[in-house]
Structure 1
Amino acid sequence: MNNVVNEPQSKVYIETIKQIQNIIANDQLTTGDKIPSERELADRLNFGRSSVREALRALELLGLIETRRGEGTFVKDFGGHHLVELIGGFILQTGRAKDDLVETKRVIEEQAITLAMARITTEHIKKLRILIECAPEHCDKEFMKSIFLATNNRLLLKIWLLLSEYYIASLPLENKLDLEIYENLLSAFEEKNLNLAFQQIQKMYE
């Protein structure tokens, strides 16, 4: 009897979560952006406010959004929440799993470089140079992220951010920053030299 009652409620709950995620995607909201209010979401989705409220709570528990008292609800950087560490701790216990992680991360970075090589703008290249010259200590974290941003492929960026979280948590780097790699990567983009760029990625993983 209870199952008959709860099943439709469950479907509405799941559908509400999906529709809120669609709104975030369709409105092109990214980390730090404010999402519509509970009332506006209820109006746009034609769902009851209680359903919207529960869906927002679920998304907040997953670390996908955050509520700031007196300000509203905002899209959160999912890569930073504890779920990443919890999942990573379970699935990356074996050497094979770690090898797969490294290989997948490298393949995605090479694909991003290929896309970025065709799409990168002069403005992007200027930002990369500023990063190297003014904040070289942040190159390990920000340089590759900037390349993914230059691809204009948000899904690719999100996948890479998640992989990077696993990578950092499971395979902490002990090597010191090799600024020459990033300088050569920048030169590769300036010269549209894909082979040179791939050579730098190879050095990163040696």
Structure 2
Amino acid sequence: MKKDILQNASQAIDPERIFATPREIVPIQRATLPQEIVKAIADLIRRGVWRAGDMIPAEKELATQFGVGRSTIREAVKSLAVMGVIESRAGEGSFLRQPSSEALAGAMMWGLLLSERNLDDLLEARILIEVECSSKAAELRGDDVPPRLYRIVEEMRNHFSDYSRFMALDNEFHVLLARSAGNVLYSTMAETIQGLVRIWYSATYDIPGTMDLTIAEHMRIVDAVRDRNELAAKEAMRAHLSRAGSRLKLALG
């Protein structure tokens, strides 16, 4: 198995592009800031100097080309790896990953977690993304989507005493709705937001009536999606997210 994986990986690499040393690489003046290296590498990718699948030069070579220390390069490469831009393959090197929405999701996750206004930012992002997802889901949804959403809501009714399961079903509801919108970026952003929702929103369950209200709000969304009523779906989702945000602020004081 390992041999096959390595063989397939080697076949996907263009030998002429390995360890490319583009003339565009210039020394970085602010050598103490790995962020500058990240920006410089991003610019190389944007301009097509490096492309998906390319093996990037080794740490030592990059340090020489950019005119910085190896520790600076190491930090920059780690940052790009966390964001999903670069992947390391044992015994081979570091490669630029194929374009995907994972980098965007990672950037969103860190930005929302570290922002000084993170709760307000999270609510605003949810409204912008999930309201549009609801509208698109109502427009494009398949025949199986409303029944699946109704089943999730019904299962939520059966788990009032299990906060963890109720939260998981709540997340599942929003993710399924986003996926029904037919846009992979919407779906990925919604999934990322739901990861943040799990961090904070469980606190709202201590507020009496929260679960009943959540289910009623979800039902209005599903009814609109079932009827292919895009405007009603948007309004129902906007109302749900605004009320959920208010409940969260109340729970957190």
Interval of TM-score (by shorter of Structure 1 and Structure 2): 0.5 to 0.7
Q: Paired residue for 1:6?
A: none
> For the Cα contact (< 8 Å) 2:137–2:177, is it kept in 1?
yes
CA distance in 2, matches of 1:153, 1:85: 19
So what's the TM-score if we normalise by structure 1? 0.57
Per-residue deviation, 1:107: 2.0
- Bigger radius of gyration: 2
> For the Cα contact (< 8 Å) 1:101–1:163, is it kept in 2?
yes
Which has the higher mean CA deviation after the structures are superposed, 138-147 or 154-163? Answer: 154-163
> For the Cα contact (< 8 Å) 2:156–2:215, is it kept in 1?
no
Which has the higher mean CA deviation after the structures are superposed, 115-124 or 195-204? Answer: 195-204
Per-residue deviation, 1:158: 2.1
CA distance in 1, matches of 2:156, 2:201: 21
Q: 1:202 aligns with which of 239, 242, 245?
A: 239
Q: Paired residue for 1:186?
A: 222
Per-residue deviation, 1:145: 1.0
Q: 2:203 aligns with which of 169, 174, 185?
A: 174
SS at match of 2:182: coil
Q: Paired residue for 1:115?
A: 136
SS at match of 1:205: helix
Alignment of 1:137-152 (within 5 A): 137=166, 138-152=168-182
Q: 1:47 aligns with which of 17, 25, 35?
A: 17
* Aligned residue identity for 1:61: A
SS at match of 1:192: coil
1:38 aligns with 2:13: no
> For the Cα contact (< 8 Å) 1:38–1:52, is it kept in 2?
no
1:61 aligns with 2:81: yes
CA distance in 2, matches of 1:133, 1:68: 45
Higher percent of residues as helix = 1
Change (3 A) 1:67 1:37: farther
CA distance in 2, matches of 1:107, 1:60: 27
CA distance in 2, matches of 1:159, 1:147: 12
Change (3 A) 1:90 1:115: same
